[in-house]
């Protein structure tokens, strides 16, 4: 079964994201920022791969990506 295409554009620089990860105040912030770092580095090609890498469900990844697109990514 083929899912939706995984096309996510992260506008922040890798340096900005890595700095934000280091300064994240909560585990949740750190996880979400780590997700963005993985996407920016092009380390993953699908939501499933990303979910496996950061040990979260695909639905969680989808929710986080939607929130990030709306500017609701906590801590950043």
**DSSP 8-state code for residue 41:** T
For residue 13, give both structure tokens.
């620089």
Distance CA 18, CA 44 (A): 17
SS3 state at 47? helix
pTM above 0.85, yes or no: no
Instruction: Please report the sign of the dihedral spanned by the C-alpha atoms of residue 9, residue 44, residue 56, residue 53.
Output: negative
> How many CB atoms are located within 10 Å of the residue 2 CB?
4
Of all residues in the chain, what percent carry a pLDDT higher than 90? Answer: 64
pLDDT at 73: 63
């Amino acid at each position: 079964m083929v899912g939706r295409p995984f096309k996510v554009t992260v506008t922040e620089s890798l340096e900005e994201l890595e700095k934000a990860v280091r300064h994240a105040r909560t585990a949740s912030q750190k996880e979400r920022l780590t997700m963005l770092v993985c996407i920016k580095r092009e380390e993953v090609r699908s939501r499933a791969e990303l979910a496996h890498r950061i040990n979260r469900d695909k639905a969680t990844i989808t929710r986080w990506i939607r929130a990030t697109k709306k500017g609701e990514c906590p801590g950043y």
